Amino acid sequence: MSIIGVGIDVAEIDRFQAALERTPGLADRLFLESELLLASGERRGIASLAVRFAAKEALAKALGAPAGLHWTDAEVYVEGSGQPRIRVTGTVAARAAELGVRSWHVSLSHDAGVASAVVIAEG
């Protein structure tokens, strides 16, 4: 196995919230329903959404940031153990396959008004 790509991104949480409020429907273009809602059915908090957005940006960077990737072709989720994961489909899965990506590593954090994510693509 070798590292194919590494991506990192940060998102200012207040700025991200303002973008969501300013642009109706943006959340639905960026996230799957499973990312928008907690297991309880409640809407996920803004810091949690911002860190998922940062992870998708980091994922794109790990893939070389090609044009044509769809935001909803990457799902950021957390396993029961608490470990974050990424699931890819469609345009993102096609690019990953083109590069030979076989697994993903992801780290998420948010504190002091900033959400950050690191994604490593391994093949």
Q: State yes or no: 21 annotated in a binding site.
A: no
Residues 33, 72: Cα–Cα separation, whole Å: 10
Q: State yes or no: 111 annotated in a binding site.
A: no
| Exposure string for 97-116, b = 16+ CB within 10 A, e = fewer | eebebeebbbebebeeebbb
Helix axes 46-62, 13-22, angle to 10 degrees: 100
Residues making up the binding site for Mg(2+): 9, 57
Residues making up the binding site: 9, 57
